[in-house]
Amino acid sequence: MRIAFDARSLIGPRTGVGVWLEGLLRGLVATTDWRFLLCLPRRVARLGVDDLGHRVTVFAPPVPLPGTLWLQTVAGPTLAGRADAYVATLGVLPRRLVTPNVLVIHDLTPRSHPGRHTLANRFCFNAYFEESLGRAGTLVCVSEATRSAIADVQPRAARRALVIPVGVGPMFSTAAGDSGRDATRRRFARGRPYLVQLGTLEPRKGVATLLAAHGDLVTHSPDAPELVLAGGRGWGGRWLERALARHPDPTRVHLPGYVGRDEARDLLRHAEVAVLASDEEGFGLPLAEALACGAACVASDAPALVEVAGGAARHFPRGDAAALSATLCSALEPSARQELREAAKVRAAALGWERPLSAWRELLSRVAGGQSGPGQLRMPGNGAARN
């Protein structure tokens, strides 16, 4: 069987959708004899999956094209006869696609929070999203929260959508005692205890709210942990500089930039508290990874984050810096921190790739065999993957 993917999220440093796609691809390679076609608008020297060998082939036009132009012109027709199923990983289907397809929706933030995305992101998603919903052979959401958001746009599409969550890779696990803690502190936080948020530094991630909350902590408790904001710079002008200028002691805030998977794991393992202050998420993979590492977690009340945490994190109202400061202060109490870490270890058992991967194998087998629609796909050990 031959499965094609929109692989644009594998270009460049790994963030949310790229991490998900790589995890899914590696799981499918390890558990099937299928072949995979990574579809791109241009040739790329390295995608970070070269070790998968002959099972994976990159498919790109001879002349490089902008992503949206490629998707709406040559991507669909040139796939004909080359794949048994196509997975549209970024929420938009190619036009003139005759291959049986699966449309994956991670979030609707370019539509729900357009002012917090670049003009290019808003155009590429919003111009073709509803049309893609209508043409999708099978629709997959990564959370119930995302399916609920789709219901506000196209209720009929939401009713036929499957929910298959993102899996957390096996490298995200608890540390053996305090191994590596001091080295991680020295590298990222001047040797001091720290709070950490992972993710691209852009307005919708709630970074300004977190900076204000941390500033309040530092003001009222000079021995409060440092703050590490680990992620590449996104878009949005000088908002970050302005937020840092309002912090009472910006030297207590550390910006290491984008960190690799090993560094991300170490940061989560050894944080006093891991935070995800986002205004909205489709899933919230950094929160799932933090729970898998046994971290004490605080997150906003964005529906997807409440869903992913499953009761193992403390939540605060989105955008409320005072509430976040109070929640962090409470979570930093030794007994509360230990309670949260124990809850994280329990929740981690439900966040791996085993069940999502099984659901994807069943789904792709059915779609490639000509069976469109949601059917009765089940998530092993977790009931049906749809309501």
Beta strands at 35-39 and 56-59: parallel, antiparallel or unpaired: parallel
pLDDT tens-place values along the chain, 387 residues long: 999 999 999 999 889 999 999 999 999 999 999 999 999 999 998 899 989 989 999 999 999 999 989 999 999 999 999 999 999 999 999 999 999 999 999 998 777 665 555 666 666 776 788 899 999 999 999 999 999 999 998 999 999 999 999 999 999 999 877 889 999 999 999 999 999 999 999 888 999 999 999 999 999 999 999 999 999 987 767 899 999 999 999 999 999 999 999 999 999 999 999 999 999 999 999 999 999 999 999 999 999 999 999 999 999 999 999 999 999 999 999 999 999 999 999 999 999 999 999 999 999 999 999 875 555 555 554 444 544
Where do the domains of the chain lie? 2-167+353-368, 181-348
pLDDT digits (tens, 9 = 90+) for 84-140: 999 999 999 999 999 999 999 999 877 766 555 566 666 677 678 889 999 999 999
Please report where in the chains the tokens 């060998």 appear, as a residue: 53
Q: What is the pLDDT of residue 104?
A: 98
What stretch of H or E contains 298? strand 297-300
Q: Alpha-carbon dihedral of residues 297, 301, 302, 306, nearest 10 degrees? A: 60
- Distance linking the first and last C-alpha atoms of the chain: 29
Q: Is 53 exposed, middle or buried (0-12, 13-18, 19+ CB in 10 A)?
A: exposed
Q: What is the pLDDT of residue 112?
A: 62
Tokens of 360: 């994807």
User: Beta partners for 38?
Assistant: 5, 58
Q: What DSSP character marks residue 103?
A: E
pLDDT digits (tens, 9 = 90+) for 201-247: 988 899 999 999 999 999 999 999 999 999 998 776 789 999 999 99
Q: What is the pLDDT of residue 384?
A: 43
- 181-348 matches 2-167+353-368 in CATH topology: yes
Beta strands at 253-254 and 273-276: parallel, antiparallel or unpaired: unpaired
Q: Write out the CATH class of domain 181-348.
A: alpha beta
Q: How many residues does the chain have?
A: 387
DSSP letter string, 326-342: HHHHHHTSHHHHHHHHH
CA–CA gap between residue 287 and residue 282 (Å, rounded):
12
Angle at 301 (CA atoms; ends 295, 304), nearest 5 degrees: 80
Q: Quick one: fold of 2-167+353-368?
A: Rossmann fold (3.40.50)
Q: What DSSP character marks residue 224?
A: P
Q: What is the pLDDT of residue 383?
A: 42
Q: What is the pLDDT of residue 115?
A: 57
Q: Which amino acid is residue 364, in one-letter code?
A: L
Q: Are the beta carbons of 339 and 233 closer than 8 angstroms?
A: no
Beta strands at 101-105 and 194-198: parallel, antiparallel or unpaired: unpaired
**Nearest to 325, CA basis, from 251, 279, 275:** 275
Q: What is the pLDDT of residue 119?
A: 60
